[in-house]
Amino acid sequence: MNIDKVTLLDKTITLCNVYGNNLETIVYTQGVGISARLRIEKLGYPSNAKQYALSTYSDLVVNRINDESHNWRNDNRAGLIWLDDLYEITKNLDHVQPIIDQADAFVDKNNPILDLNIQVEDQFFVSAVLGRAYKYTSKDIYLDFMISHILDSPLQREDGIYIHSKIAEYPWGRGNGFAIFGAVEALKYIPDNHVRKEDVIKKHIKHIKSLKKLQTKNGAWRQVIDNEESYEELTVTSMIGYGVINDIMMGILPKDYLSMALKAWKFVDSRVEDTGIVYDSCTGTGSLNSIDEYLIRKRENGFDNRGGSLAAWFLESLFEYVEDNNE
C-alpha cells in the first residue's frame, strides 16, 4: 500500500493546528495535540508551536499548576507530556520540571493516587509521566514503578487482549489503545540493558499479535474490540497505529507490521476531514456496568479534542517514519 505523503502531511498539519492550540483544560486529550504540533514543527513545518507552548508554559508555572493541580486526576497529569517536546526544542530543563513534580505524586507511597480497581487508562498515564521523569533524572524509582505497573497488571487476558478494569471486565477498544500507549511510552525510556525490558516487550508483543487478528478489513479496531457488531472506532485505531509505527521505528517490531499501520492510516484518513472534523470517536468512558453500555456508547462527530489529538499523534509519527525511510 502506497502512502500519499502530501495528503498525510496536510492532514497531520491540520490536526496539529486545530487540536494543538488549546489547553483550556490540562488533560491528555489536549496535551497530546500540543505534543503533536511541537513534533511536526521540529520536523521543519512551522506552526508557531514553540511560541504557543512557551506562553502556555509560563501560564502553567505562574498560575495554573498552583491553582488547579490539587484537583487533578491522572489524565490531567498526563496533560503535561508536551513539555517534553518543548524541551526537545528549547533544551531548557525548567520546562520539564512540572512533569517530574507529577511523577513524584505517582510514587508517593503515603498518598497513593492510582485507582484500586486498576483502570487500564492508568497504564498510559503512568508511563507518559514517569518515563519522561526518568529520562531527565535517571532515578530508578520512576523506572521501577512504571515497569511494575505494566508487568503486574491483571487486566491482560490469556488471549492478549486487555479488559477495562477489575470492575468492568469488558474489552473496550480505547482501553486496549491505552495499554498500547503505556507499553510504547515505557519502552522509549527503559534502557536496553535493563533486566526487565524483555518482559515488557514480550507482554506488549503478545498484545500486538492479538490485535493484528482483530483489525477489520477497513483497517480499524472496534469500540468493543472483539465484537463484530461493534462500530469501528477512531481513537483506538489511532492509538494502535501510533504504537505499531513507533515499535517499528524502535526496532521492537519488524517491518512486516508496517501494513498494519498503513491499514490503520487508511481508516483514520477516512474519518478525518480536511477541516479537522473527525468521525466515530468514542466519547469519554469510565468503567461501565455492561457490555451493552459499551456497544451503545456515543460517537463524537465534529470537532473533538480526544479524537483529533490522538489522530494527530499517530499521523505525525507515521509521517516521521515515511520521511526517514523514503516510503
What residue spans define the domains of the chain? 5-321
Q: Which CATH class is domain 5-321?
A: mainly alpha
> What mean pLDDT is predicted for residues 170-187?
98
Confidence of residue 327 (pLDDT cuts 50, 70, 90): low
What cell numbers appear for 178 in the block? Answer: 491505552
User: Considering only CA atoms, which of 59, 65, 57 is closest in space to residue 83?
Assistant: 57
Host H or E run for residue 232: strand 232-233
Q: Rounded distance, CA 30 to CA 24, Å? A: 8
Asked whether residue 261 carries a pLDDT value surpassing 90, the answer given is yes
With cut-offs at 50, 70 and 90, classify the pLDDT of residue 3: confident
Compute the chain's Rg from CA coordinates.
Answer: 18
pLDDT in the model for residue 1: 63
| 210-241 per-position pLDDT tens digit | 999 999 999 999 999 999 999 999 999 999 99
Position 2 pLDDT exceeds 90: no
Cβ distance 178 to 121 under 8 Å?
yes
Query: Per-residue pLDDT averaged across 52-75, rounded?
Result: 95
DSSP symbol at 61? I
Block residue for cell numbers 511510552? 185
Phi-psi map region of 123: left, alpha, beta (phi>0 left; psi -120 to 50 alpha) = alpha
Q: DSSP readout, 135-175?
A: HHH--HHHHHHHHHHHHT-S-B-TTSPBPSBTTB---BHHH
Neighbouring residues of 286: CB distance < 8 A, sequence distance ≥ 6: none
